[in-house]
Amino acid sequence: MRKLLLIAWHEYKKHVLRKRFLGALLAPLLFIAIGGIIGFITVQSFSESDTGVVGYVDPSNALAKAYKPTSPETQIEFRRFESKAEADAALNREQIRAYYELAPDFAQSGRADLFYWKRDISGDVRDDFETYAQSALLSDVNPQIATRLTQGIDFTFETPDQSRAFGENNIVGFVLPFVFGLMFFVALFAGAQYLMQAVIEEKENRTMEVMVTTVTPTQLMGGKILGLGALGLTQVAVWLIAMAAALAVAGQQFSFLQGASIAPEFIAVTLVLFVLEYVLFGAVMAAIGAAVLDQKQAQQYTGPFVLLAISPGFFIPVIFLDPNGVIATVLTLFPFTAPLALVFRYGITTVPVWQIVVAIVLLIVFAAGALWLAGRVFRLGMLRYGKAVAFREIVAEVRS
């Protein structure tokens, strides 16, 4: 165990300060920062357009009984002008932000033209004016019914088993699991690539010849996988902290982000899946690195495994329509596709506990088997130079 931990610590220190890792670590943070700056500027711009006065010209006096709607998003005053010339003069003097010119038959047609000088009004202001106009057209209707009609429809998205629901204001909680899972997979594949490259490099410079004199192939592979797995977790931890900070800051500016969170049990399950999936893919990548001649040849063999892991993404429409169906269940139980399938299903439904348990157990079995296989392939290929390990040799080694 001590040798395994020493190898793991060596691999972690070796890669954590490399420019390649720092670039992969900081690139998403840079995108988050740029997105935050753009979002802040956008919010400030919209907040300026959501205050002030918006006029309207109403030749038929259709909005005589209108009242100002109560909207938490805007602070707009609607002011009537007797003529278009009067509204144009107020717009030129910048006394109003914009004005509507209602058609003479507005009560029947609902037609109106919007005029502005420098900047268009926001969608929230447009919605407020629509509500303002509706309040006048519904003035003869029961007040409670009129209020209900002007408020519109508040949609709620509910999981098929009715265990969870998302309103329009907290739809972010529906999306976050997808973002969270994809973030883990970026770290997973990056770490697995590091491992494969490390094996190839050490095979080429014959470092392995020295190392195998003091440790077994399984200890060497296990230490590398453990060390680079910790590297992936470091990457994920930094991204999580940055994402949490970004949500906290953005929540103060965007109301739909307030209260956005991910359930702790989902984070715990995802972490377990990430570790096991990393061991599985890390062992596969290490075995490929030990069997091939160079990086170019390795890329040809890793493609099918990467495609297999991301294949649940191809079934998103099917999973969305039937999250507890046969396809969704099979993808959840198959070790190579289990993590991503579980993440997608979590955003839509409540995944049965037995499926999570079975998926984790199968991942443990496959990860242990892949680690054992990596050690055997590594033993075959560590002293070969200029010749790749044939598939039939791997089969013979497994049978022996």
pLDDT score for 320: 80
Q: Which two tokens stand for residue 157?
A: 């998205």
Asked whether residue 176 falls in the same domain as residue 245, the answer is: yes
pLDDT score for 262: 64
Q: 347 and 175 in contact (C-beta within 8 Å)?
A: yes
pLDDT score for 361: 94
**Which residues pair with residue 54 across a beta bridge?**
78, 98
Low-confidence ranges of the chain (pLDDT < 70): 28, 32, 35-36, 39-50, 68-74, 139-174, 176, 191-192, 194-195, 198-199, 201-213, 217-218, 250-262, 293-295, 381-391, 394-400
Asked whether residue 185 falls in the same domain as residue 269, the answer is: yes
pLDDT score for 370: 85
Parent domain of 304: 2-31+161-399
Asked whether residue 287 falls in the same domain as residue 268, the answer is: yes
Asked whether residue 197 falls in the same domain as residue 289, the answer is: yes
Which CATH number do you get for residue 60? 3.40.190.10
* Strand bridging mode 112-116 / 75-81: unpaired
User: Which residue, of 124, 152, 180, is where some domain finishes?
Assistant: 152
Compute the distance between CA of residue 76 and CA of residue 301 in angstroms, rounded to an integer.
61
**Which residues pair with residue 77 across a beta bridge?**
53
Q: What domain count does the chain have?
A: 2
* Backbone φ, ψ for residue 391 (5° rounding): -60, -40
pLDDT score for 209: 57
Amino acid in the structure at residue 18:
R
Does 182 map to a domain?
yes
pLDDT score for 47: 54
Q: 228 and 387 in contact (C-beta within 8 Å)?
A: no
User: Which residue, of 118, 152, 186, is where some domain finishes?
Assistant: 152
Asked whether residue 131 falls in the same domain as residue 175, the answer is: no
pLDDT score for 365: 93
User: Which residue, of 152, 185, 211, is where some domain finishes?
Assistant: 152
Compute the distance between CA of residue 395 and CA of residue 377 in angstroms, rounded to an integer.
10
* Backbone φ, ψ for residue 167 (5° rounding): -90, 175
Compute the distance between CA of residue 218 and CA of residue 47 in angstroms, rounded to an integer.
60
Compute the distance between CA of residue 21 and CA of residue 242 in angstroms, rounded to an integer.
17
pLDDT score for 388: 66
Asked whether residue 291 falls in the same domain as residue 215, the answer is: yes
What is the four-CA torsion angle of 279, 275, 28, 9, rounded to 10 degrees? -70
Specify the pTM. 0.64
Does 43 map to a domain?
no
Q: 388 and 293 in contact (C-beta within 8 Å)?
A: yes
Q: Give the pLDDT confidence of 59-107 residue by residue, as tens digits.
A: 888 888 777 655 555 678 888 998 999 999 998 888 888 999 999 888 8
Asked whether residue 98 falls in the same domain as residue 245, the answer is: no
pLDDT score for 130: 83
